Amino acid sequence: MDAVSSSVNSSSSTKPRSRCPPLQDPFLHRKSSRENLDRFIPNRSAMDFDYAHYMLTEGCKETENPAASSPSREAYRKQLAETLNMNRTRILAFKNKPPAPVELIPREFTSPQRSRPTKPRRHIPQTSERTLDAPDLVDDYYLNLLDWGSSNVLSIALGSTVYLWDASNGSTSELVTVDDDIGPVTSVSWAPDGRHIAVGFNNSEVQLWDSTANRLLRTLKGGHRSRVGSLAWNNHILTTGGMDGRIINNDVRVRSPIVETYRGHTQEVCGLKWSASGQQLASGGNDNLLHIWDRSMSSSNSSTQWLHRLEEHTAAVKALAWCPFQGNLLASGGGGGDRCIKFWNTHTGACLNSVDTGSQVCALLWNKNERELLSSHGFTQNQLTLWKYPSMVKMAELTGHTSRVLFMAQSPDGCTVASAAGDETLRFWNVFGVPEAAKAAPKANPEPFPHLNRIR
């Protein structure tokens, strides 16, 4: 189609065009019969009809009656003006650009992990998600006053009272308050069933409570001669560690519960953890010793010899954590004079790695979903540090506590960590990621006891 054919066919285009946009397609035809152009034979290719028409009709219309133009058109014009920077504006920017955000983890360490392409980097919140008051929390490095059970109830001992905090609804209840001649409470530990709880006291007693019925089931006496600062469950065996340096295995089902005594520590036992398989027990003491005990080596009548006696720490060994993805791997942390996290092959007793953290190591927790270790510290930062394993690259430092972070406990889903510190606060950190339904299914067994028996 060209312009000549359109002029012949002019009757079809007599309708006045009121809505021609300013930028027209050049092949649109607008010859109207009212335009007196018949005596003039133009060289059409040399003329800009579109422009001329626009100037004659639309151009003046708009200046005469700007209100008639539609708002969308107004907006279009504005945008056009902005694009072409036609309004009397100068756009300025600083010569110095703001700093680009720094990446938390140096690239050279993340790149080897890139082989798993689908894994997006997890965001680690640096502040605690929730803070609860924990008044009268005993600021004693050698005690174990916090535990998070498999039924999602957190137990914390404040002075002579054990409180239960239900993480699913945030409700608090008091389990027991003891008299001053028994207390204060020196240790709490949930049985793997998440219902029964063992409580150790300053006077060497250990009580077993049913948390749902709020009922005292039995009291273990006579095993220790001084306070019971550490507890660990292995099915129906409750292992207790005392200030007297003794470690006692109690079979809580039987009348005379003491089945074994492990003698190896000369001072207070402050760290006690069974491995996931229930075969090996790690114990740490104020005598700077770390012992690994093997269940199969035990005998009921005489005291048992340790499997390994590890003397590398130079301060009290309280923080102990068995690796969830490697059965014979144990992480241990030393006190103020040592400040090291050490990794052990508990089959051979070999020290695999040692990292100086620069601060007292109060507690250690492994991430159940990732190869990461969380440590809690004292002076000077009172921080929680997240480490990548095995590179031991610091992934995050979580600060907030104003005194040493004495105890840590992990939620059953493995994602949230509770920490209690000498500043008498209990803080919750979403440091191990967010719960995922898909992930949760295969890891439904939160405690390291896959075949749990009821203790009664």
Task: List residues binding other proteins (CB under 8 A).
Answer: 82-83, 85, 88-104, 123, 125-127
- Residue among 28 and 104 whose Cβ is closer to other proteins: 104
Shortest distance in whole angstroms from residue 435 CB to other proteins: 20
- Residue among 85 and 453 whose Cβ is closer to other proteins: 85
Shortest distance in whole angstroms from residue 405 CB to other proteins: 17
Shortest distance in whole angstroms from residue 82 CB to other proteins: 7
Long-range contacts of 42-47 (CB under 8 A, 24+ apart): 44/2, 44/3, 44/4
- Residue among 37 and 104 whose Cβ is closer to other proteins: 104
Separation CA 156–CA 400 (nearest Å) = 19
Shortest distance in whole angstroms from residue 398 CB to other proteins: 9
Shortest distance in whole angstroms from residue 128 CB to other proteins: 12
Shortest distance in whole angstroms from residue 364 CB to other proteins: 22
Shortest distance in whole angstroms from residue 114 CB to other proteins: 15
- Residue among 20 and 124 whose Cβ is closer to other proteins: 124
Shortest distance in whole angstroms from residue 75 CB to other proteins: 10
Task: Name residue 329's amino acid.
Answer: L
Beta strand pairing call for 146-148 and 153-158: antiparallel
The per-residue DSSP string of 248-278 comes to EEEETTSSS-EEEEEE--SS-EEEEEE-TTS
CB 387, CB 394: distance < 8 Å: yes
Q: Which two tokens stand for residue 15?
A: 């309708």
Longest dimension (CA), the chain: 129
* Residue 59: closest CA among 26, 20, 33, 25: 20
Shortest distance in whole angstroms from residue 103 CB to other proteins: 8
Q: Which two tokens stand for residue 88?
A: 């009397």
Separation CA 398–CA 427 (nearest Å) = 11
- Residue among 323 and 396 whose Cβ is closer to other proteins: 396
Q: Is the dihedral of CA 230, 455, 256, 258 positive or negative?
A: negative
Task: Print the SS3 string covering 97-137.
Answer: CCCCCCCCCCHHHHHHHHHCCCCCCCCCCCCCCEEEECCCC
H or E stretch at 50: helix 49-53
Cα distances from 96 to residues 89, 91, 92, 100, in angstroms, run 21, 15, 12, 12
- Residue among 126 and 173 whose Cβ is closer to other proteins: 126
- Residue among 126 and 172 whose Cβ is closer to other proteins: 126
H or E stretch at 5: helix 3-8
Q: How many CB atoms lie within 10 A of CB 225?
A: 11
- Residue among 39 and 88 whose Cβ is closer to other proteins: 88
- Residue among 158 and 396 whose Cβ is closer to other proteins: 396
CB 251, CB 244: distance < 8 Å: no
437 Cβ neighbours under 8 A, 6+ residues apart: none
- Residue among 126 and 171 whose Cβ is closer to other proteins: 126
Shortest distance in whole angstroms from residue 417 CB to other proteins: 17
